[in-house]
Amino acid sequence: MPLVSMRQLLDEAAKGGYGVGAFNVNDMEQIQAIMAAAKETNSPVVIQASRGARAFAQDRFLFHLILAASELYPEIPIAMHQDHGNSFETCKSAIELGYTSVMMDGSLKEDGKTPSSFEENVAVTKRVVDFAHDRGVTVEGEIGVLGGVEDGHGAGGSGLEHVTDPDQAVEFAERTGVDALAIAIGTSHGAYKFTKKPDGSVLKMDVLIAIHKRLPNTHLVMHGSSSVPKDLQDVINQYGGKLKETWGVPVEEIQLGIRNGVRKINVDTDNRLAMTGAIRKVLWTQPEKFDPRDYMKPAREAMQKVVALRMTQFGQAGHAGDYAPIPIEEIAKGYADGTLATQPLVAAK
Ligand code: G3H
Ligand code: 13P
Ligand code: ZN
């Protein structure tokens, strides 16, 4: 199957009332793990690459590896997505490579650290939307700022410093025409999200629900959505790791989000933990091993297990065969002739 527009994938998820996991990749084994999980659970999927991933793997290696996934698994709809684009140029380069979706994270300035102004965010996001939609490519924007720092990207802090204001979310969606909207509700990137199990109030699910009420048809995106399971932490620490006690986003809260408009759920850290634990276990228990296959195979299997579980929990499992991909050129026409709406439905307060 050719790569699919993320807009189509999320529109279908909205029709079916489920969420779609968007999993970060940096190398072949992670892509293989996601595809094995997608096949196992019959799931459509978003495969996403950060700027750091594109630099680490080199653009063309990563692009062709994801393309290989779409050739080897023709029954699985895959959207190839740029995660946290920091500028128009980053998004343009992903689109020119062949990504079917980009995130313009204008919540931060181009340095990927400093929160930007609302007007700056609107301007750069709108510029990306105009360029992307002309080419049939989907755009995710972000309003509000996440906490934490990954690979030098992120504002830092707890995640509760810049929670999304629902009125701004409405204005942002109207002025930019984004296809999907990432909101800040207290999550942060990385393993250290919370020092105790968060309840609904810590996570500001009320804000998410308020935004969904105002923008009932807008696809919401939850970043920083790893659950950081204790069993994955324990494997790492059992075999020489030194993770401090920590909590992630409970799956029940994500499921509550999915019932309230969340269609894309970003997960990276859980997969990092699963792979690292599996590798540590081999190297710790069998120190004589030196063939990378001896630890990369269990690492890939450990990631497949996590991804398959999330696909089932998010509800995308079983939906891979629900629809045929619409060619990107048709999607571009849809944006141009208005068949694909770019103006959100806004409900009164
Ligand atoms: O944005 C967060 C993702 O986990 C990607 O992280 O920038 O370290 O590749 P990264
Ligand atoms: P986690 O660090 O919680 O996996 O979040 C990943 C993410 O939001 C990628 O954009
Ligand atoms: Zn993110």
**pLDDT, average across residues 303-330:** 98
Instruction: Reply yes or no on whether the pLDDT at 257 is more than 80.
Output: yes
Question: What are the b/e assignments for 254-276, b being 16+ CB within 10 Å?
Answer: bbbbbebbbbbbbbbbbbbbbbb
Q: What single string gives the DSSP state of each residue in 29-66?
A: HHHHHHHHHHHHHT--EEEEE-HHHHHHH-HHHHHHHH
152 falls in which pLDDT band (50, 70, 90)?
low
Whole-prediction pTM value? 0.96
Pairwise pLDDT comparison (153 vs 108), residue with the higher score: 108
Tens digits of residue pLDDT in 213-249? 999 999 999 999 999 999 999 999 999 999 999 999 9
> How many CB atoms are located within 10 Å of the residue 39 CB?
16
Instruction: Reply yes or no on whether the pLDDT at 328 is more than 90.
Output: yes
Instruction: Reply yes or no on whether the pLDDT at 252 is more than 60.
Output: yes
> What's the DSSP call for residue 3?
-
For residue 30, which amino acid is it? Q
What is the pLDDT of the chain when averaged over all its residues?
Answer: 95
Confidence at residue 145, expressed as pLDDT on a 0 to 100 scale: 79
* Ligand 3 ion local residues (Cβ < 5 A): 223, 266
**pLDDT, average across residues 94-119:** 94
Sign of the Cα pseudo-torsion (46, 50, 54, 56, in order):
negative
Alpha-carbon gap, residue 238 to 284, rounded angstroms? 9
Among the bound ligands, name the one nearest to the CA of residue 310: 2
Instruction: Reply yes or no on whether the pLDDT at 159 is more than 90.
Output: no
59 labelled catalytic: no
**Rounded distance from Cα 79 to ligand 1 centre (Å):** 18
Q: Would the CB of 82 count as within 6 Å of ligand 2?
A: no
Q: Would the CB of 223 count as within 6 Å of ligand 2?
A: yes
322 falls in which pLDDT band (50, 70, 90)?
very high
Q: Would the CB of 319 count as within 6 Å of ligand 1?
A: no
Q: What single string gives the DSSP state of each residue in 138-175?
A: EEEEEESB-BS-BTTBS--S-S-SBPPPHHHHHHHHHH
* Percentage helix, strand, coil for the chain under 3-state DSSP, each rounded to 5: 45, 15, 40
Instruction: Reply yes or no on whether the pLDDT at 153 is more than 60.
Output: no
- Counting ligand 2 atoms within 8 A of each CB, the residue from 269, 271, 303 with the most, and so the one to mutate, is 269
Alpha-carbon gap, residue 4 to 13, rounded angstroms? 13
Confidence at residue 160, expressed as pLDDT on a 0 to 100 scale: 62
